[in-house]
Amino acid sequence: GGVGFTQYATAAYTDNVLDDFSYFGKDYVEVKYGELCSAPNNMDTVLDVGSEVAFYSFEQYEEYPALLETHFGGSQRAAVVSAAAGISTAFATGNGQTGLSAWYLAHTYTRTYSRIGFYGYTYRSMGCTKYSLSETTKVCTLNLRGSLNYPNYAM
């Protein structure tokens, strides 16, 4: 199990909620950084924009409980929150890699702040942040990880 199909199907089956969360992120970026693609391309931006959008998304799920049921009891919540965080961070920096890092960051938040599951299935640890950034102090330098060796869900 993973989030491959859920992420793929999110845009079509989430009743414009992904749009709302992404527009919130776009507005946040424009207010904080002036214009799109002008934020620094670093981890501080990932933490700032990704966290702000993820927490806004969680607040919306708390404020409107029926929204959670629309998203199949939480299985699509992880995909929606993560996609919005990734989209918004990519808006901020103009770089898809920082957007991917925010996507993974939001997944870790979702695992922390909310139950993810649907009819007994649970979201399992599947890599997340270890595929986004390399920490050479903790792993062999010849074993660097990045987005290129992330599992291909189409296979």
Range of the domain at 9: 4-118
Determine the Cα–Cα distance for residues 45 and 41; give it in Å rounded to an integer: 7
In a domain, 146, yes or no: no
Each residue's pLDDT tens digit, 36-60: 999 999 999 999 999 999 999 989 9
Which CATH number is 101's domain given?
1.20.840.10
Average pLDDT of the residues in 1-22:
70
Q: Give me the number of domains the chain comprises.
A: 1
Tokens 């199909």 -> residue:
5
**What's the whole-model pTM score?**
0.69
Determine the Cα–Cα distance for residues 49 and 31; give it in Å rounded to an integer: 12
